[in-house]
Amino acid sequence: MYIPQEQLKNLNSFLQPQKAVIIYGSRRCGKTTLLNEILKSIKEKYLLVNGEDITVQEYLSSQSIEKLKSFVGDNKLLLIDEAQKIKNIGLNIKLLLDNVDMLKIVAAGSSSFDLAQQIGEPLTGRKYTLKMFPLAQLELNKIQNKIEVDSSLEQRLVYGSYPEVVLIKDNTKRILYLKEIVNSYLYKDILELEGIRHSDKLVRLLQLLAFQIGKEVSFNEFGQQLGMSKNTVDRYFDLLEKSFVIFKLKGFSRNLRKEISKNPRYYFYDIGIRNTLINNFNSLSMRNDIGMLWENYIIIERIKKQEYLGINANNYFWRTYDQKEIDFVEERQGKLYGYEIKWSNDKHKLPKEWLETYKDSEFNIITKENYLTFIT
């Protein structure tokens, strides 16, 4: 079953001669499906290749114009999956765009560190960038009615939103699939990098982080607990971000001396991965971390919406030293929007310091009653 992907229409609109579209996203989030799906509407000749193929690597890393042209032939669209596996892919894409008339290129990669470094300078002004995530509720709304959306909320908070997880109907099989992702795919790109040797500490770092969702993270404290230097912890966090395992929010600070902005907060791209790391698939009624799950879920779903619908925003959290805080702050077109994310429907006080300091800002509380408007 194909669940319509929001990035499909964006990819269609970005396909232009002498331009490249670069697609980033975690493994198993649907990049290959997206490439295959767009081909159903393509009328011109195309070539779809995988960067893990040795022959493909030989041709597309050659930096030989003649060799590159012979590989593409008379195709007008070149699609490269696992593009980060190809040495000097950015320079070779540039050579193709410069020397093959009317050529369009799509390159997809499961890790941004290799691919971004390779395509950055060579493709300046020649590329569009799309980011992909596990399925968004924005996409699931296309195949679910309101009753189905409401009834599957617990499933999303426990097992996450990877396409296969959503399509599997048995919870035992969902758990097995998530464990396969964690054990076989989650660290693959990171551990292939030279100098990353302590996979056990990488796992332990993520497990520690799983219990700190919504809290500021100190690299010094993590280093002490893991027996690593602050710089090593910093590097691991950076690599985990670039391989789409976690993402961070920085603290917002502009006017108040008591605003906290030094340490970031980290969240998981997928809740199911977080729960797999700590091996907790209990139902919501048996959990004491529902507030963390709900906050992580709402924030990542909002970020998916921003990406897919082209909402340009800077994202933060806000907290003061006397414990006043707002979970999620968006800065859009020069205006601030604060959002407190609460699982319970109890009444919550407006943060007086926020409203007094940022008088033109808005503030809303996101609960189970109104969350769908916020994320879809």
Placement of tokens 């020649």 in the chain: 126
Cα separation of 247 and 195, whole Å? 22
Is 332 within 8 Å of 312 (Cβ atoms)? yes
Count CB neighbours of 235 within 10 A: 15
Q: Which carries the bigger pLDDT value, residue 346 or residue 277? A: 277
Integer Cα distance of 206 and 104 in angstroms: 39
The encoded tokens of residue 371 equal 């969350």
Q: Which residue has the tokens 């296969």?
A: 164
Q: pLDDT tens, 182-194?
A: 988 777 767 765 4
Structure tokens at 57: 């690597």
Sign (positive/negative) of CA torsion 270, 191, 123, 316?
Answer: positive
Tens of pLDDT, residue by residue over 235-247, are: 889 889 988 999 9
For the segment 147-161, the average pLDDT, to the nearest whole number, is: 97
Q: What share of the chain is helix, strand, coil (3-state, %, to 5)?
A: 45, 20, 35
Burial class (CB within 10 angstroms; exposed 0-12, middle 13-18, buried 19+) of 149: middle
Which pLDDT score is estimated for 357? Answer: 86
Cβ atoms of 22 and 119 closer than 8 Å: yes
3 state SS of 180: helix
Q: How confident is the model at residue 269 (pLDDT cuts 50, 70, 90)?
A: very high
Q: Is the pLDDT reported for residue 262 higher than 90? A: no
* Domains of the chain by start residue, with CATH: 6-132 (3.40.50.300), 137-309 (1.10.10.10)
Name the pLDDT band for 323 (thresholds 50, 70, 90).
confident
The answer on pLDDT for 198 being more than 70 is: no
pLDDT of residue 242: 85
pLDDT given at position 224: 95
pLDDT in the model for residue 259: 65
In angstroms, rounded to a whole number, what is the distance separating the alpha carbons of residues 315 and 250? 8
Backbone angles phi and psi of 95, in degrees to 5: -60, -40
Two tokens at 249?
Answer: 């929010």
pTM of the model: 0.95
Tell me: the pLDDT tens digits for 76-111? 999 999 998 899 999 999 999 999 999 999 999 876
Q: How far apart are CA 110 and CA 105, in angstroms?
A: 17
